[in-house]
């Protein structure tokens, strides 16, 4: 009996290869040819699964976000309000090898999104989900009396925390001699304590 090709499995393999190439060599270097080589497939096989390079990149970004969500669901399990928010924000920082790869992938997409409306749109949709999650948890925390101030605007607090997550992630990746993981974790927890 001929071996049956598992299409989902192949797509996942190609996307994992794309993630490895982007993180290792930069997003400029992630050509379809380089991704095919990394995955061990021909360009023709890739073309069968993805329309073009952008579709591979976008799928790789979405796959990464799905992994983050799945992991977070396991971590947060049952927590609400401030405790859940703490898990969520720390989980978005490059505090171990896996999350460092994820953050490098994010940073790679930022600059590319500025030059491509198609990428920017996906980036926005994905970011809106994270934003809504943070906002909901802040509202829970306020309802539970966990926030010090009762007059701070929750939208502003949300934006402040999310800007901090991306800024700290970026600085930890770019300036490893200036910031260590423990510094970034402390800075994030301080920001939460001030709420």
> Residues 59, 11: contact at Cβ < 8 Å?
yes
Residue 8 CA, chain-centre distance (Å), reads 22
DSSP 8-state class, residue 95: -
Interacting positions 161-180 with a copy of itself (CB under 8 A): 162-168, 170-171, 173-175, 177-179
Nearer to a copy of itself among residue 99 and residue 104 (C-beta): 104
Nearer to a copy of itself among residue 154 and residue 162 (C-beta): 162
Closest CA to 87 of 194, 190, 189: 189
Q: Output the DSSP codes for 98-154.
A: HHHHHHHHHHHHHHHHHH-HHHHHHHHHHHHHHHHHHHHHHHHHHHTT--S-SSS-H
Nearest approach in angstroms of CB 195 to a copy of itself is: 11
Name the segment binding a copy of itself (CB under 8 A); options: 58-66, 67-75, 136-144, 186-194: 186-194
Nearer to a copy of itself among residue 77 and residue 156 (C-beta): 156
Nearer to a copy of itself among residue 36 and residue 105 (C-beta): 105
Interacting positions 20-59 with a copy of itself (CB under 8 A): 25-29
Interacting positions 107-136 with a copy of itself (CB under 8 A): 107-116, 120, 123-124, 127-128, 131
Nearer to a copy of itself among residue 41 and residue 108 (C-beta): 108
CA separation for the pair 72, 110 (Å, rounded) = 22
Nearest approach in angstroms of CB 124 to a copy of itself is: 6
Distances (CA, A) of 133 to 50, 75, 87, 136: 30, 15, 12, 5
Nearest approach in angstroms of CB 80 to a copy of itself is: 25
Neighbouring CB atoms inside 10 A of 105's CB total 20
Q: Provide the binding-site residues for a copy of itself, judged by CB under 8 A.
A: 25-29, 104, 107-116, 120, 123-124, 127-128, 131, 156, 159-160, 162-168, 170-171, 173-175, 177-179, 183, 186-187, 190-191, 194
């Amino acid at each position: 009996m001929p071996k049956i090709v598992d299409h989902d499995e192949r797509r996942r393999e190609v996307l994992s290869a794309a993630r490895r190439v982007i993180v290792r060599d930069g997003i400029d270097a992630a050509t379809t040819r380089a991704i095919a080589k990394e995955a061990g497939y021909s360009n023709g096989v890739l073309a069968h699964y993805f329309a073009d390079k952008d579709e591979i990149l976008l799928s790789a970004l979405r796959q990464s976000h799905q992994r983050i969500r799945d992991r977070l669901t396991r971590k947060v399990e049952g927590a609400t309000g401030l405790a859940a928010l703490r898990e969520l924000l720390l989980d978005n920082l490059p505090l171990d090898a896996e999350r460092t790869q994820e953050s490098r992938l994010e940073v790679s997409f930022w600059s590319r999104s500025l030059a491509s409306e198609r990428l920017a749109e996906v980036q926005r949709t994905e970011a809106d989900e994270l934003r809504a999650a943070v906002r909901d948890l802040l509202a829970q925390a306020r309802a539970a009396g966990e926030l010090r101030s009762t007059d701070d605007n929750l939208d502003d607090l949300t934006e402040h925390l999310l800007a901090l997550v991306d800024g700290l992630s970026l600085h930890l990746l770019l300036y490893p001699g200036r910031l260590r993981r423990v510094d970034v974790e402390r800075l994030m927890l301080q920001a939460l304590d001030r709420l």
